[in-house]
């Protein structure tokens, strides 16, 4: 008995940190690689979070729903001069959580003419170290139904504010959930932007996506294999879904993140231009 117990104990001790056992195998692998990409990173503001919106905006903390008897808090921004309903965007934070850098990106999106709602999938927490970020991310991955309900309530809140068109944008952890939001409620989403998030490649699961998709990836990103990006793109094209994929040479994971030190200015600038042009095509017409 002792001989059997000791190896099991050692396996538990040296298993990849904090990876929940019920997460799909390929997703666990992506999570481990993501952690490696961020192992020396910090949630300091990147140049993306330091730029001012294209026009003056207003921003405020907001309650957009309730879960388990507790309010769901987020951050909403819209153009200062806007009157009435606007096309809207759900903004999903990277693995650090809903911090001031995500709020800054939400204001930048609002400056492009949208009502932008940054959701909080971490229940008010945000991370200052990679270890803390990994724990928060894993807590969500262990109970995905809670995050799905959170995002459904965010969409309903924006619809209640008169949104006729709805897009979703996310980075890193949020990029995966941007696609997850689309798969969760494809009939409600009009445009999806994925910044280097975990991808679904099963054509049967992607079949429900009919609206345009934009995917932005780094060629040096070890957490999102290029093969999965191409398989994702191929599956969407075969079913007739409008999809635009850009893989940036010389850019790694998190090259356009609002937080952290992996920022690559040329790739990030081009990705933002593609994002704003894509949202204008899909949400404003």
Q: Once rounded to an integer, what is the mean pLDDT over residues 129-146?
A: 94
**Do the beta carbons of residue 285 and residue 236 sit within 8 Å?**
no
Q: Is the pLDDT of residue 6 over 70?
A: no
- List residues bridging with 244 in a β-sheet: 214
**CA 115, 119, 121 angle in degrees (round to 5)?**
170
Q: List, edge to edge, every strand of the sheet that includes 166-171.
A: 57-67, 70-79, 115-118, 88-92, 166-171, 191-195, 213-218, 243-248
pTM for the model stands at: 0.89
Instruction: Report, as an integer, the average pLDDT of 166-171.
Output: 98
pLDDT averaged over the chain? 90
- On the question of pLDDT at 59 being above 50, the answer is yes
The domains of the chain, with CATH numbers, are 21-283 (3.40.50.1820)
- Structure tokens that stand for 210 in this block: 């009919």
Give residue 20's pLDDT: 37
At 186-224, the pLDDT tens digits run 999 999 999 999 999 999 999 999 999 999 999 999 999
Whether the pLDDT of residue 8 is over 50: the answer is: no
C-alpha neighbours within 13 Å on the C-beta side of residue 206? 22
Minimum mean pLDDT range among 19-28, 93-102, 126-135, 151-160: 19-28
Length of the chain: 285
- Cβ atoms of 270 and 209 closer than 8 Å: no
Given this model, what pLDDT does residue 85 score? 95
pLDDT of 27 over the 70 cut = no
182 phi/psi in degrees, rounded to 5 = -65, -45
Is the pLDDT confidence value at 12 over 60? no
Would you tell me how many other CB atoms lie within 10 Å of the CB of residue 198?
Answer: 23
Residue 20 carries which DSSP code?
-
Residue 82's φ and ψ, nearest 5 degrees, are -70, 140
- If you search the block for the tokens 């600038």, which residue do you land on? 269
Distances (CA, A) of 140 to 10, 32, 72, 144, 215: 26, 15, 15, 6, 23
Phi, then psi, of 80 in degrees rounded to 5: -60, -35
**Choice among 8-12, 20-24, 114-118 with the minimum mean pLDDT:** 8-12
pLDDT at 236 over 90: yes
């Amino acid at each position: 008995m002792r001989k059997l117990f000791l190896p099991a104990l050692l396996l538990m001790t040296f298993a990849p940190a904090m990876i929940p056992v019920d997460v799909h195998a390929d997703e666990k692998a992506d999570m481990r690689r993501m952690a490696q990409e961020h192992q020396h990173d910090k949630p300091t503001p990147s140049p993306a979070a330091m730029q001012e919106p294209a026009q003056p905006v207003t921003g405020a903390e907001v309650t957009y729903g309730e879960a388990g008897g507790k309010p769901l808090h987020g951050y909403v921004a819209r153009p200062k001069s806007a009157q009435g309903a606007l096309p809207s965007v759900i903004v999903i934070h990277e693995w650090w959580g809903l911090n001031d850098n995500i709020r800054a990106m939400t204001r930048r999106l609002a400056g492009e003419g949208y009502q932008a709602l940054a959701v909080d999938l971490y229940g008010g927490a945000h991370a200052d170290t990679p270890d803390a970020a990994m724990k928060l991310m894993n807590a969500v991955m262990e109970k995905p139904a809670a995050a799905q309900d959170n995002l459904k309530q965010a969409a309903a809140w924006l619809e209640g504010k008169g949104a006729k068109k709805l897009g979703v944008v996310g980075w890193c952890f949020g990029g995966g959930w941007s696609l997850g939001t689309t798969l969760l409620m494809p009939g409600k989403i009009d445009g999806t932007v994925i910044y280097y998030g975990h991808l679904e490649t099963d054509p049967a699961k992607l079949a429900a996506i009919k609206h345009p998709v934009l995917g932005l990836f780094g060629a040096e990103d070890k957490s999102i294999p290029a093969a999965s990006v191409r398989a994702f793109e191929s599956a969407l094209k075969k079913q007739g879904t409008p999809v635009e994929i850009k893989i940036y040479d010389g850019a790694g994971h998190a090259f356009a993140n609002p937080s952290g030190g992996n920022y690559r200015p040329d790739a990030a600038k081009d990705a933002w231009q593609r994002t704003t042009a894509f949202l204008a095509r899909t949400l404003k017409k």
